[in-house]
Amino acid sequence: MVQGRTRGDGAPGLRLVAAGLAGILCMACTPQQRYAGGQSYQRHACQNIPDEVDRTRCLEAAGTTLEEYQRNKEAVGR
């Protein structure tokens, strides 16, 4: 195993570049499209969590709709 990497680690630098490119390409996206892209990324990240309880909790959070997120954000801001 290469030092500094663990199994399932992937290529962090490549992910950063891909996220940056996606951000640039999505500048014209609607807020809903950007939120959906973020949810997709989060669901993918959740799949790498080894603990089933934590993974389930992560996936549930990734299932929050944009409208639910905005309502929760407003409620916390009050």
Tokens of 32: 């809903």
Tokens of 7: 């199994």
> Residues near 25 by Cβ (< 8 Å), separated by ≥ 6?
none
Per-residue pLDDT of 34-55, as tens digits, reads: 899 899 999 999 999 999 999 9
Tokens of 77: 């801001």
Tokens of 44: 């993918």
Question: Where does the pLDDT of residue 13 fall: very low under 50, low under 70, confident under 90, or very high at 90 and above?
Answer: confident
At residue 29, does pLDDT exceed 50? yes
* Cβ atoms of 58 and 46 closer than 8 Å: yes
Per-residue pLDDT of 49-73, as tens digits, reads: 999 999 999 999 999 999 998 998 8
Question: Across all residues in the chain, what is the average pLDDT?
Answer: 81
Tokens of 41: 């990324």
